[in-house]
Every structure is written in structure tokens, then in C-alpha cells.
């Protein structure tokens, strides 16, 4: 596990959407934009699965995840590599579900990514 730097945390908080890459068990890739990406703590980021059936299915088959937060105009951001887990109950799930319900959006799952490697640029 790797700790998120302040620079990476700032990129995650200010750049949206982030792009999340996953693959299924056969290696077929998927990239999906996530406007809900956020820092959970020094070693985890999370995002809501609102309309992400392929991302979630891929994580069930292969938990490896790559994320890029990119401000293209400034050529600044970060890359994160880690392992995703799917949460569909508990305090974090309830918190994000309530937040997005106010926006009339249903959270199907919350994806929690344990950061294994990070690169800022």
C-alpha cells in the first residue's frame, strides 16, 4: 500500500472527471469517466457506481484498477494503480447513497480502491 501525497489528493479533489480503467478476466479493457472520485483516506480513493455495470463486473473478475486525474490544459494530475473492492452496504455506501439521492441519482455500489502505486506529474 502507498500513501497518497498532498499533490495527488489535490488533483483528485479538483480534477473531474477522473478516468478509471479496468479489465475483465480475459484482459478486455474498459475505461469509464467518474465524476464522483474522492479521497477516502491516505491509502484509499472511492467512487460511486451510478451507471457503471462494466466497471463493476470487471472488478468482480479482476480487481486491478488504474485511474488518471488529468488537467489537460495544465498537463498536471496523477495516476493511481490499485485494487478495487465493491461495497453495497455499510456506512460509506449509505453516506454516498444519501448524497447522490439529493441529486436524484441512485448509487448501485461504491468502489473502494486501495492505492498500490501513485505517480504525480
72 is in which domain, residue-wise? 6-120
What's the CATH code of the domain at 98?
A: 2.30.110.10
Q: Is residue 1 part of a domain?
A: no
Average pLDDT over residues 111-115: 98
Q: Is residue 39 part of a domain?
A: yes
Q: Is residue 62 part of a domain?
A: yes
Q: What is the pTM of this model?
A: 0.95
| Residue 113 predicted with pLDDT over 90 | yes
Average pLDDT over residues 44-53: 97
Q: How far apart are CA 45 and CA 37, in angstroms?
A: 7
Q: pLDDT for 56-74, tens place per residue?
A: 999 999 999 999 999 999 9
Q: What per-residue confidence (pLDDT) applies to 119?
A: 97
Model confidence at 19, pLDDT cuts 50, 70, 90, reads very high
Average pLDDT over residues 108-118: 98
Q: Is residue 100 part of a domain?
A: yes
Average pLDDT over residues 24-49: 97
- Per the structure, the count of domains in the chain is 1
Average pLDDT over residues 45-57: 97
Q: What per-residue confidence (pLDDT) applies to 1?
A: 83
Amino acid at each position: 500500500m502507498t500513501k497518497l501525497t498532498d499533490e495527488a489528493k489535490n488533483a483528485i479533489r479538483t480534477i473531474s472527471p477522473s478516468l478509471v480503467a479496468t479489465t475483465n478476466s480475459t484482459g478486455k479493457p474498459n475505461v469509464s469517466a467518474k465524476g464522483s472520485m474522492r479521497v477516502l483516506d491516505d491509502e484509499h480513493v472511492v467512487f460511486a457506481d451510478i451507471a457503471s455495470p462494466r466497471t463493476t463486473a470487471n472488478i468482480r473478475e479482476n480487481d486491478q484498477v488504474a485511474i488518471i486525474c488529468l488537467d489537460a490544459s495544465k498537463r498536471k494530475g496523477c495516476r493511481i494503480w490499485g485494487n478495487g473492492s465493491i461495497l453495497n452496504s455499510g456506512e460509506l455506501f449509505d453516506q454516498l447513497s444519501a448524497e447522490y439521492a439529493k441529486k436524484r441519482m441512485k448509487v448501485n455500489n461504491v468502489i473502494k480502491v486501495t492505492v498500490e502505486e501513485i505517480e504525480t506529474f
